[in-house]
Structure 1
């Protein structure tokens, strides 16, 4: 049985084109308040959000994200950062040491940041906005950190374009539930058939969306995507930012 909220969540689409209309301040304030009310492990709240409206700064970020023009053209671009700088100040205030090299702490920061971002996107959509997550914010993290003046113990995790939609895109199909949802224990016997089914569904979707230019489905795309190293510079960047990961 669906509710208004579940219908909104299940109608998700990534929106990359926006009409020339600013986001009212009270709407953005509500979106950001919702981000802050996301769950947080032990209430650590290990994230910060940079709100970018400057046309010049968005233009630079668009290039740093791999030439994604919608970063430049969206009315508001949010940068969600893992943040232990504020927690270091907290520890300094109380005379304790922050163990920034703990893998658990980095995981908490990444999860907290992602939960806040998802809350923000759902809240934005409830106001009639559209958006898209931007993983390309991690392409050149040192330059992003310099541009946004990120202090030590912070790192950009994802960006988010927000604006009023100027496109009506088809919803991208998701994996069959039986490939994702398991009762009581992880079951593997039905996965090959579910993946083949999804390959056919997703191949048909991509072929239709690209007018035949892309005919490979999800499994073939993932097999190609995951065989290549990606953003190998992130480890060095995190260490430079004060995260001496074990």
Structure 2
């Protein structure tokens, strides 16, 4: 098995970091790896804000639920979908289409995954932060994001100060389908996976969390998350048509 596959298969989210900074060479290598990701129609519809100012990092952390690893990581980057740059150089370009949101989100997610995989290959760790979308209006003002730019997720990077076990993923047979989508997934496999996840949480939390994967689905999807998101997208010039 290749070294690249080993790195990807042993991914863990790291939320505790040492105080050691990343070198300039490491940062440059991670950035170059992120930029090497595939891009739809070569639009390169992404921008990344590297938050290095301590006070600004504290303010961003406050908008993201005060998750302490945002402040504790050596690096914190905010990945954004970006069509503002296109309009700067090609003012007649037509933007605001729903498909462009998908392009920007997909391009940026591919960049983010490349960045994290590159970091992990260097012995670093990281965790993605979806909470940058908790207060997007305020975050846009704080990071001076113009119309045509939306923050999608953050990424903490640094030297790990913990060694968690990998979180169990769905069996491949419940995710990879051949020649079409099945009428019904196997209930027995689902039950076995539920039990595996439940045991994982019990072990990781010392018995403080006892939840199956389907239980987590029910809790997470019980209500609409971030109901302000469509208004925010419209304000930033996305999904207008």
Q: Considering the TM-score relative to the shorter chain, is it more than 0.5?
A: yes
Distance in 2 between residues matched to 1:45 and 1:194, nearest whole Å: 40
Q: Secondary structure at the match of 1:157?
A: strand
- Work out whether residues 91 and 98 of structure 1, in 8 Å CA contact, stay in contact via their aligned partners in 2: no
Q: Distance in 2 between matches of 1:231 and 1:131?
A: 24
Residue pairs, 1:127-166, within 5 angstroms: 127-166=122-161
Any conservation in 1 of the 2:47–2:80 contact (CA below 8 Å)?
Answer: yes
Q: 2:173 matched to 1:174?
A: no
Aligned-pair distance for 1:190? 3.4
State the secondary structure of the residue aligned to 1:133: strand
Question: Which of residues 97, 101, 104 in structure 2 aligns to 1:106?
Answer: 101
| 2:90 paired residue number | 91
Give the alignment partner of residue 202 of structure 1, picking from 197, 200, 203: 197
Of 212, 217, 232 in structure 2, the residue corresponding to residue 217 of structure 1 is 212
1:235 pairs with 2:217: no
Deviation, 1:244, is 4.6
Unaligned 5+ residue runs, structure 1? Answer: none
Matched, 1:192 2:203: no
Q: For the Cα contact (< 8 Å) 1:71–1:77, is it kept in 2?
A: yes
**Which residue in the other structure is 1:61 paired with?**
60
- Paired residues in the alignment total 241
Mapped to 2, the partners of 1:220 and 1:123 lie a distance apart of 33
1:51–1:76: 8 Å Cα contact kept in structure 2?
yes
Superposition RMSD in Å: 1.2
SS for the counterpart of 1:213 is coil
Q: Which moved more, 1:115-124 or 1:203-212?
A: 203-212
**Shift of residue 58 of structure 1?**
1.3
Alignment partner of 2:95: what SS? coil
The whole-number CA distance in structure 1 between the counterparts of 2:94 and 2:32 is 27
Question: Does structure 2 conserve the Cα–Cα contact (< 8 Å) formed by 1:61 and 1:72?
Answer: no
Query: Residues 167-215 of structure 1: CA distance to partner in whole angstroms, max 9, x if unpaired?
Result: 1111110001110011222224333222212111100111111111211
Gaps of 5+ in 2: none
Shift of 1:51: 0.7
Aligned to 1:38: 37
SS at match of 2:102: helix
How far apart, CA to CA, are the structure 1 residues paired with 2:239 and 2:168?
39
CA displacement at 1:166 relative to structure 2: 0.6
SS in structure 2 of the partner of residue 30 of structure 1:
helix
Secondary structure at 1:116 match in 2: helix
Q: Give the Cα–Cα distance (whole angstroms) in 2 for the partners of residues 88 and 198 of structure 1.
A: 47
